[in-house]
Amino acid sequence: MAVTRERQTKAPEATPEAVVAMAREQGVQIVDLRFTDLFGQWQHFSLPVRELTVDIFQEGVGFDGSSIRGFQHIHESDLNLVPDPATARIDPLAATRTLLLICDVYDPVTRAPYSRDPRYIARKAEAYLVRSGVATTAYWGPEAEFFVFDDVRFSESANSAFYAVDSDEGIWNSGRDDRPNLAHRPRHKEGYFPVPPVDSLQEWRSELVLKMEEMGVEVEVHHHEVASAGQCEIDMRFAPLVEMGDRLMLYKYLVKMFARLRGKTATFMPKPIFGDNGSGMHTHQSLWKDGTNLFYDPQGYANLSETALFYIGGLLRHTPALMAFCAPTTNSYRRLVPGFEAPVNMVYSKRNRSAAIRIPVYSASPRAVRVEYRPPDPTANPYLAFSAMLMAGLDGIRNRIHPGEPMDVDLYELDGEGPAIPQVPGSLDQALRALEEDHAFLLEGGVFTPDVIETWIATKRRRDVDYVRLRPHPAEFYLYYDA
C-alpha cells in the first residue's frame, strides 16, 4: 500500500541521497536548516529546495557566527552548518511544504566541529560514555512542562516595569463579567488530571500530539498539570542523548508554534504565575550496556544496582554546579524554593517527589528501573544539561561516590528534626559560583572545554544575573514606597 504524502514525513534511511529523494517525492519547496545556540535557543535559515544537494551534507552552508549568542567574535565570524540527514522531517505546521534539517556547526578553516556547538558537546558526551567502558548507551526521558496562555503582556524601561498573563482557564476568571461565564476552571494547585471541561486543553494537546507523531517524535502520554491557567505536560518516549536533545528542541518548537496557530501562546518559563506550581523538567535517565540495564539489581534498594547508587552519588555531589546548566535562568529559582513542592532537597528516595532524585517504582520490569532527576527545568539547553548530568553520574561511578541512605519520608514534615538536609542553590548567581568551583568532572575526556564553561558563566552573569539584579522590582514599590 502506498504511503500517503501526509504521513511520510521522515526519510526512509539516513543518507543524503535518501533525503534529497524524499524532498523531491514529497513536494518540498523550502529547506529549513536549524541549529542550537550555546544557551538553548533554536536558530534557522531557509533555502529553496533546488539548493538541497548531496554536496550540502559534506560542504555545509556558511553563516555569521558572530551574530549568534555565545558563538564567535566579529573578527572570526564565519562558521558552517552541516545538516544531519538522520534528522530530516517535514514540518507539519508550515503552510509552505518545508523540510527541517538539524545541523552540526563546523569551523570552515579547520573543518573541525565547532567547540561551542551544544550538539557537538552532546556527541562527545556519548562517545566518552562508550570509551569509559561503563556503558554503551545512556537513555533520557525529560518531562518538560509548559503553560498555554491566551494573553501575555510585559514591558520594562527606565521608569516602568510590568507583566500580565491571562488564560481563560485561570481560576481568577471565575468572577469575570462574561455573559455567560461558563466556569469549570481548575483551582490553584488542583489542575492535575481533571477531565474536560475543567481540562480545557485536552483537544489542543491531542491535536498537537498527532503532529508530533507525524514527525516521528514518539509520545507516551499527555495531560494537564497541577497549576491553573493552562499548565500542561507531554511526555516523549525515552531516547539516546543526542537524539533526545533533537526531540526536545522539536518539542518546544511544536508546542510554541501550534499554540500560535491556534491563537494562543505557550511558554516554558519555569515560574510565570505567583502562588501556583512552576514548570519543571524531571529528567529520567539510565545506563545500558549491550542491551542490559546497568541500573537494575533485584536485591537492591528500589531495585537499584550499586552502579545506579554511585551514579546518584555523582548527581548529588555535583548538583550545585549542575544547576548552572539544568536551571539556567533567574526565573528558575522562583520555582526552586524550600518549603513548597519544588525538589530542592539533595537526597534520593523511591516514590518521594520531595527529593531531588526519585526512583520511580511503577513497574517491576528490569527495563523500567531508572533515576529521575527533578531539579531541572525546560529553559535548559538539553544538549548541555543532559551531557552535564551524564558526566556527573559517571564521575560518581568512577569515584564510587555513595549517596548515603535514602530519605523515604515527607521532607517538608520534618520540622527541623534530624540532620540538616543540603539543598540546591537559591539563585542563579550561587549556581554559577558553584560551577566555577566544581567543573573538573565536566572536562573529563574533553567533553566540555574551559572555553565553553567560562563563556557560559560570563554571559549568564552579564545577561541574566546583572540584568535582573540591577532593576527595581514592582514588588519593591509595594513593600517600600512609603518608607
Pairwise CA distance, residues 178 & 156, whole Å: 31
Residue 297 has pLDDT above 70, yes or no: yes
Residue of 104, 117, 126, 145 marked active site: 145
CA dist., res. 226 & res. 212, Å (int)? 23
Residue 3 confidence (pLDDT) above 50: no
Q: Is residue 132 part of a domain?
A: no
Annotated catalytic residue within 335, 374, 377, 429: 374
- Give the residue among 62, 40, 51 at the shortest CA–CA distance from 109: 62
If asked whether residues 166 and 39 sit together in one domain, one would say no
Contact 329, 428 (CB under 8 A): yes
Q: Does position 217 have pLDDT exceeding 80, yes or no?
A: yes
Q: Is 145 a catalytic residue?
A: yes
320 and 409 within one domain: yes
34 within a domain of the structure (yes/no): yes
| Parent domain of 223 | 137-480
Q: Is residue 131 part of a domain?
A: no
Q: Quick check: 133 and 290 in contact, CB under 8 A?
A: no
401, 462: one domain:
yes
pLDDT, tens only, 337-360: 887 678 999 999 997 777 899 999
17 is catalytic: no
How many CB atoms are closer than 10 A to CB 364?
9
Instruction: List the alpha helices (DSSP H) in 301-370.
Output: 306-317, 319-326, 332-335
User: What's the mean pLDDT in 138-164?
Assistant: 96
Q: Is residue 469 among the annotated active site residues?
A: no
User: Would you say residue 474 has pLDDT above 60?
Assistant: yes
Can 341 be counted among the known catalytic residues? no
How many domains are there within the chain?
2
> Do the domain assignments include residue 344?
yes
Q: Is residue 453 part of a domain?
A: yes
Cβ contact 292:151 at 8 Å: no
| Same-domain check for residues 141 and 248 | yes
Q: Secondary structure of the chain: what % helix, strand, coil (to 5)?
A: 35, 20, 40
pLDDT at residue 4 in the model: 33
What integer pLDDT is reported at residue 338 of this predicted model?
81
Q: Under a CB-based contact definition with an 8 Å cutoff, are residues 302 and 295 in contact?
A: no
Whether residue 126 lies in the annotated active site: no
Q: Which of the following is catalytic: 32, 117, 214, 372?
A: 372
Question: pLDDT for 272-292, tens place per residue?
Answer: 999 999 999 999 999 999 999
Is residue 439 assigned to a domain? yes
Question: Do the strands 345-350 and 355-359 form a parallel or antiparallel pair, or are they unpaired?
Answer: parallel
Whether residues 72 and 209 fall in one domain: no
Same domain, 73 and 174: no
Closest C-alpha among 424, 398, 444, 387 to residue 140? 387
Residue of 44, 262, 353, 461 marked catalytic: 353
End-to-end CA distance of the chain: 77
pLDDT of residue 2: 31
What mean pLDDT comes out for the span 250-270?
98
Q: How far apart are CA 283 and CA 1, in angstroms?
A: 39
On whether both 144 and 75 belong to a single domain, the answer is no
Higher-scoring residue by pLDDT: 406, 2: 406
99 and 197 share one domain: no
User: Quick one: 70 and 180 in the same domain?
Assistant: no
To which H or E segment does residue 213 belong?
A: helix 202-214
If asked whether residues 362 and 322 sit together in one domain, one would say: yes
Can you tell me the distance from the alpha carbon of 184 to that of 201, in angstroms, rounded to the nearest whole number? 12
Please list, in sequence order, all residues whose beta carbon lies within 8 angstroms of the beta carbon of residue 395, skipping any fewer than 6 positions away: 314, 317, 318, 401, 441, 444
Residue in 34, 119, 205, 282 annotated catalytic: 282
Residue 151 lies in a domain: yes
220 is catalytic: no
Catalytic residue among 91, 199, 214, 225: 225
Q: Are residues 101 and 162 in the same domain?
A: no
What does the pLDDT look like over 168-208, one tens digit per residue? 999 999 999 888 988 899 999 888 989 999 999 999 999 99
We report the CATH number of the domain holding residue 82 as 3.10.20.70
Specify the CATH number for the domain of residue 437.
3.30.590.10
Residue 474 lies in a domain: yes
Catalytic residue among 37, 143, 297, 395: 143
Catalytic hit among 233, 246, 377, 464? 233
| Catalytic annotation present for 372 | yes
CA pair distance 182, 184, nearest whole angstrom:
7
Residue 106 has pLDDT above 70, yes or no: yes
Write down the pTM of the prediction: 0.94
The answer to whether residue 73 is catalytic is no
25 is catalytic: no
Residues 91 and 162 in one domain: no
- State the average pLDDT over residues 130-145: 98
Q: With 80 as the cut, is the pLDDT of residue 6 above it? A: no
